Chains A and B, each alone.
Chain A
């Protein structure tokens, strides 16, 4: 596989929307790396290798953006520290996450996935060509070493629309059940035919066969040539405390297309977890997709019950499901943790960063160049951190000023300068979300300016964003200020070295999503204690019920019965997580499921919470995908352009 090296070093800023005053988003030349840098501050909890220390203040310095291409080339571990000290060379494989400190036995889960995959390879004798879809290749790198696949006689290829180049006569397609992949497979099989190639085709769907995919195969008349199977991979551990359902399109499917497949998938995956770790007795959900998933989970338990008698203890006490839709503000803000920043700038894929080779120049010492780049990024933040801590109030200002909308002028300028459309949209979406839309005049004007600057092919995009409620006309008063007050989203961070609240994550803004999690797990639990300790005046003017009504989507509270057969659906409103330390020697485990994605910053916030002294909970995060503002918007932009949404 010859990597396609291509680089573009842009000195454009990340859309540091939330905490940065918009004026700070300016182009500046690239800073030169200095020779020495202070070591990155690390979180004290040894189990966490994350980089969750606060970098206070806005990003006002320029940052390096590396434009990346799928290349299978050099990868950097997200841990800057480790990345800098390790001798990584281009082409090194992604590291399979170490799960030694997982609160439940995730390694066993992964081993099962490994075994299933090898079982497929074993069942087909002799040499074979394993064709994987591009996304799945990344997912599999979290489960199994490529070398192991080769040991089983498999030659690896990535699925594309091009004809398949291989000597093998046995072709195994291992792809997610997506319609477009079926067309690729059909076209590959069809090109083989006139060449007289005698090949045997196997198609394994991930995670399961679907009628729609088979229908496409039938229509393309290749159905009969394929032996079909399934590879039931529903979730993959990304880290000790993070699971991914690997559903990249979940958010846009739920929000724009109305395709609810991912909700079923999420429920199925949780149900599978229950088979391994016991029925989760408490279920809480907020948002349309989440409540639906909770209901599905219940009916799955009825149709295919987990036998609780065989299970022993229930390892997971509570599952909290949350729609990304409930809090779209947070991902649109710039993340200010190291891991989050790396994701914003270099995009972390499957726990690693891919850097284009040409930035390494002609020299093959990639390590050195990567070191320089990383150093300069880091230098910026250290610099930023040292400069001030006073930008805390800026978010407040931002929210207040939104009403007078001077930001519109700034965004207008960005459009006129034809800056990358996702940067523009990220700000517009944030503006629209916090103001319940834009006044009609501004709305129509900005939309027209966008179409004129970026092309009329973006009409569908604007329409889709409007349908999703992300960028719309103002029709009612915004309740954002009310929400920020009620949930204490804007909090001054006084001591950045020893933060006492998650608001340090965004330099004074506590992510709405995480506040909701605090609520869902608190009420009668330990959280309240923590919260009270931190803020003497921390009390809620409204009841949580009232508050939840301000946010999109219904909410649901379930307690699931102890009996397998008549596990009835009893609703106990307002009952918090039971605080029993029921897992011997462990703290109560709470599974938090984000349908539509979660950011690294939010994960960091949860780790921060669970690392607090006296905290009785461990968190396990499960998400359809790890996202940031750009990775949310980019697929919507491209799919809208192609008219596939």
Chain B
């Protein structure tokens, strides 16, 4: 790269700009890879300087210093020297170092052209108009080895084609244009453009594409040079361009990267620069030796006079120039010049300088022939550091990628992760333990890295044991970043269900717990294992157990019962039986007194026995025993009264019903059978008698003996029924004046209420309430006011 010629001599003036042509790498090694080499093992170090005759190959060079792909052009006659006769697809770095090679798939139509897509996969267009795609860096056909057709069979095949970042435009032999805008998609959806109307006798000289992102309509515009005219074809129509410019037949066209300009090489040797709308000629140059085909990188460079201008600008210019320079010694000279200036110029932002140094270090590192990515500084800025790192790891340059990411303070996780996965792929014979050690060594470098993702890759490579070991390690090392959504399906796939369940529970996401539960459940069902295994697993984990129970209550009753019984949760099994008994009751077939009544009682008795087996559920045991007894009594009552109104009601309601029906004896029988306390009995009987309006019986009942809970039940029953006269029989018997007062108030008897209230100590609040209660009665209200005034006067407040 260094040259003894003066710097200025390298530059040529073209119009008002200086240009130069750089030789980046020379000589190129071009070694043919060893025949046995696999994708990644063809080492750079062992390369032998060889030859690659570009003229006999179909070649594609990726933009942005990417790799070069080549395959021998079988339409040309070539003399074979020492190489094998079978064609191989070759991949080189920009510096000509072999990266990979693979045999060209046999039995295919002829290859028309090769190209790289914007995300660096290699695309081959076959002469029948089908696409064959290859993955980098191993050159494996992807997604499948069969080509994807883009053209209809009758089109006659490819006459010419132009690729751009994501798409291709094909000119067919029958002069139609087909475009596909997403050649990386599984189905690229080729579309016919409008018929360009080129006659059979005419010949398309060349074509170019204005990429879709530069066209208003969002679909690509294809320029065709036909005879002495240029036409633009898009989906909607055909347009004749630049007739008035009189360019004449165009031999070659190229669209500028921003889609605005077109360089056209006319048949008379003129090079023209025209806007893509052909509105005028911007620039015209007579050239004879300029080869438009060479994809030159044109670089403005007009820095030399700048040293004399003002200092900060000069420093800026030096730094800038260093950035554009490929030669390290010249970079150094320029940067040194900048530091001289910097010393005198405190205003200048020093970070600019440091930034440039950093960038140059990265650029020089990747430009090294060993790596072979001759990026310009603009390309680097467009590409960004993370993408560059991505390219490096795809080229298996992990160490450099790691160094760069460390140097730039970027997260090195992606590098190490990729390395680990590649390592696993590339080491099929290494024993698990050895490989694990090697992997862990590097994985430890990066805090918080997901072992799960690496383990998933190991599993994909058929190394389950290694995957399990990695997962094991994950659970030991990092509790926090568990990345469960990757990990759990992985654990399930390697048959680590219990671990998966624990992880799912740890994640706190019940949905994941269910995922694992159903997985295990299904497996148990398929393998016809006893449910016991499953039950054992979930019983040890309360979260899983409770979730299973919640789900099973909806749809897995039998399994739930099994679970309860086999894990000793007898009380829960008993409650489940009770639930079943109630469902029988709801069943429309289970009409009262029908034979279904029997099963219902039997289920309850079963539940009773289960409760009894536990020590802690004596209460439930007794209660279910009583429940069964009640159902039987109610059944008998329904038979004897011939009325289906008892089953399903409570003990209290049964008693009330009996009394309301006038069947005191039956009520008493229920009372003694269920040991109903006297207090409740009084409430129930008074209520029932009042409901049927049997006031005589009520009075008789009040005189049987002194009621154990007082006369309150009688008062309430009468008041609720609105029976003033009846109520007055019992109100005076209330011992508490407050209760008495309120009872009178509820009957609307203001005077009596007030009198009773006046016997209450601390009666203010009571008065307020009474007043509200009797608010509709203004006379009553005034009684209260008087009384209260009198009381407050006495100092009761």
> Interface stretch among A26-34, A358-366, A608-616?
A26-34
Bound form: Cα–Cα A415–B296 in Å? 96
The proximity string for B residues 552-568 relative to A, scoring 1 for CB distances below 8 Å and 0 otherwise, is 01110000000000000
Bound form: Cα–Cα A455–B646 in Å? 12
| Contact call B765/A60, Cβ cutoff below 8 A | yes
Q: Which residues of B contact A390 (CB under 8 A)?
A: 765
B411 interface hit (Cβ, 8 Å): yes
| Contact call B775/A264, Cβ cutoff below 8 A | no
| Contact call A447/B542, Cβ cutoff below 8 A | no
| Contact call B649/A61, Cβ cutoff below 8 A | no
| Contact call A416/B679, Cβ cutoff below 8 A | yes
Bound form: Cα–Cα A448–B621 in Å? 12
Residues 1-30 of B at the A interface (beta carbon under 8 Å): none
Distance (whole angstroms) from the CB of A453 to the closest CB of chain B: 5
A643 interface hit (Cβ, 8 Å): yes
| Contact call B772/A31, Cβ cutoff below 8 A | yes
| Contact call B746/A216, Cβ cutoff below 8 A | no
The proximity string for B residues 509-520 relative to A, scoring 1 for CB distances below 8 Å and 0 otherwise, is 111001100100
Closest to A569 in B: B480
B550 interface hit (Cβ, 8 Å): yes
The proximity string for A residues 414-431 relative to B, scoring 1 for CB distances below 8 Å and 0 otherwise, is 001110000000000000
| Contact call B768/A416, Cβ cutoff below 8 A | no
Closest to B505 in A: A260
Bound form: Cα–Cα A456–B482 in Å? 48
| Contact call A456/B619, Cβ cutoff below 8 A | no
The residue that B626 contacts in the complex, of A27, A180, A456, A644, with Cβ under 8 A, is A456
The proximity string for A residues 437-475 relative to B, scoring 1 for CB distances below 8 Å and 0 otherwise, is 000000010011101111111011001000000000000
Q: Which residues of A contact B738 (CB under 8 A)?
A: 23
Chain B interface bracket (under 10, 10 to 19, 20 to 34, 35 or more): 35 or more
B683 interface hit (Cβ, 8 Å): yes
Residues 389-436 of B at the A interface (beta carbon under 8 Å): 411
Q: Which residues of A contact B482 (CB under 8 A)?
A: 299, 303
Q: Which residues of A contact B746 (CB under 8 A)?
A: 27-29
The residue that A565 contacts in the complex, of B411, B507, B555, B627, with Cβ under 8 A, is B411
The residue that A463 contacts in the complex, of B575, B683, B716, B776, with Cβ under 8 A, is B575
| Contact call B508/A212, Cβ cutoff below 8 A | no
The residue that A215 contacts in the complex, of B508, B518, B679, B769, with Cβ under 8 A, is B518
Bound form: Cα–Cα A210–B716 in Å? 54
The proximity string for B residues 764-778 relative to A, scoring 1 for CB distances below 8 Å and 0 otherwise, is 110111011101100
B650 interface hit (Cβ, 8 Å): yes
Q: Which residues of B contact A413 (CB under 8 A)?
A: 683, 709
| Contact call A643/B576, Cβ cutoff below 8 A | yes
The residue that A264 contacts in the complex, of B508, B764, B771, with Cβ under 8 A, is B508
The proximity string for A residues 550-578 relative to B, scoring 1 for CB distances below 8 Å and 0 otherwise, is 00000000000000011001000000000
The residue that B775 contacts in the complex, of A32, A212, A386, with Cβ under 8 A, is A32
| Contact call B680/A387, Cβ cutoff below 8 A | no
B interface SS class: helix
Residues 515-539 of B at the A interface (beta carbon under 8 Å): 515, 518
A407 interface hit (Cβ, 8 Å): no
Bound form: Cα–Cα A295–B484 in Å? 15
| Contact call B514/A210, Cβ cutoff below 8 A | yes
Residues 233-266 of A at the B interface (beta carbon under 8 Å): 253, 257-261, 263-264
A383 interface hit (Cβ, 8 Å): yes
B674 interface hit (Cβ, 8 Å): yes
| Contact call B775/A34, Cβ cutoff below 8 A | yes
| Contact call B448/A456, Cβ cutoff below 8 A | no
Q: Which residues of B contact A383 (CB under 8 A)?
A: 768, 771-772
Residues 708-728 of B at the A interface (beta carbon under 8 Å): 709, 716
Closest to A453 in B: B652
The proximity string for B residues 485-515 relative to A, scoring 1 for CB distances below 8 Å and 0 otherwise, is 0000000000000000000000111110011
Interface size on A, residues (CB 8 A): 73
Bound form: Cα–Cα A27–B739 in Å? 11
Given contacts A259-B510, A452-B651, A457-B582, contact A388 B768 (CB under 8 A): yes
Q: Which residues of B contact A81 (CB under 8 A)?
A: none
Q: Which residues of A contact B769 (CB under 8 A)?
A: 28, 60-61, 387
A302 interface hit (Cβ, 8 Å): yes
A116 interface hit (Cβ, 8 Å): no
Closest to A292 in B: B508
B623 interface hit (Cβ, 8 Å): yes
Given contacts A387-B768, A444-B619, A565-B411, contact A417 B651 (CB under 8 A): no
Bound form: Cα–Cα A388–B648 in Å? 47
Closest to B687 in A: A417
Bound form: Cα–Cα A330–B511 in Å? 32
Q: Which residues of B contact A23 (CB under 8 A)?
A: 738
A167 interface hit (Cβ, 8 Å): no
The residue that A455 contacts in the complex, of B545, B650, B776, with Cβ under 8 A, is B650
A296 interface hit (Cβ, 8 Å): yes
The residue that A267 contacts in the complex, of B508, B653, B773, with Cβ under 8 A, is B508
B546 interface hit (Cβ, 8 Å): yes
Residues 727-765 of B at the A interface (beta carbon under 8 Å): 738, 742, 745-746, 764-765
Given contacts A456-B624, A566-B448, contact A264 B578 (CB under 8 A): no
B59 interface hit (Cβ, 8 Å): no
Bound form: Cα–Cα A299–B485 in Å? 13
Distance (whole angstroms) from the CB of A122 to the closest CB of chain B: 22
Given contacts A295-B508, A643-B578, contact A453 B546 (CB under 8 A): no
Q: Which residues of A contact B510 (CB under 8 A)?
A: 210, 259-261, 264
A356 interface hit (Cβ, 8 Å): no
Distance (whole angstroms) from the CB of A11 to the closest CB of chain B: 10
| Contact call A460/B508, Cβ cutoff below 8 A | no
The residue that A258 contacts in the complex, of B543, B576, B627, B680, with Cβ under 8 A, is B543
Closest to A179 in B: B554
Q: Which residues of B contact A602 (CB under 8 A)?
A: none
Given contacts A31-B775, A61-B772, A452-B650, contact A459 B578 (CB under 8 A): yes
Q: Which residues of B contact A417 (CB under 8 A)?
A: 683, 687, 716
Closest to B607 in A: A459
Residues 565-610 of A at the B interface (beta carbon under 8 Å): 565-566, 569
A155 interface hit (Cβ, 8 Å): no
Closest to A460 in B: B575
Distance (whole angstroms) from the CB of B481 to the closest CB of chain A: 5
B52 interface hit (Cβ, 8 Å): no
B330 interface hit (Cβ, 8 Å): no
A492 interface hit (Cβ, 8 Å): no
B342 interface hit (Cβ, 8 Å): no
| Contact call B623/A212, Cβ cutoff below 8 A | no
| Contact call B619/A447, Cβ cutoff below 8 A | yes
A148 interface hit (Cβ, 8 Å): no
Q: Which residues of B contact A61 (CB under 8 A)?
A: 769, 772-773
B644 interface hit (Cβ, 8 Å): no
| Contact call A456/B650, Cβ cutoff below 8 A | yes
| Contact call A452/B674, Cβ cutoff below 8 A | yes
Residues 649-706 of B at the A interface (beta carbon under 8 Å): 649-653, 674, 676-677, 679-680, 683-684, 687
Q: Which residues of B contact A216 (CB under 8 A)?
A: 554-555
B483 interface hit (Cβ, 8 Å): yes
The residue that B480 contacts in the complex, of A292, A298, A380, A416, with Cβ under 8 A, is A298
The residue that A210 contacts in the complex, of B480, B511, B620, with Cβ under 8 A, is B511
| Contact call B448/A416, Cβ cutoff below 8 A | no
Closest to B604 in A: A456
Most buried by A among B515, B620, B687, B765: B765
Distance (whole angstroms) from the CB of A296 to the closest CB of chain B: 4
Given contacts A212-B551, A569-B480, contact A260 B650 (CB under 8 A): no
Leading 8 A-B pairs by shortest Cβ distance: A258-B546, A643-B579, A387-B768, A456-B627, A452-B651, A455-B650, A416-B683, A261-B510
Q: What are 5 contact pairs spanning A and B, CB under 8 A?
A: A23-B738, A303-B481, A383-B771, A447-B619, A565-B411
**With A31-B773, A451-B623, A643-B575 already in contact, 15 other A-B pairs whose C-beta atoms are closer than 8 Å:** A23-B738, A31-B775, A179-B555, A211-B511, A211-B515, A219-B555, A298-B480, A416-B683, A417-B687, A447-B623, A452-B650, A453-B652, A456-B627, A459-B623, A463-B620
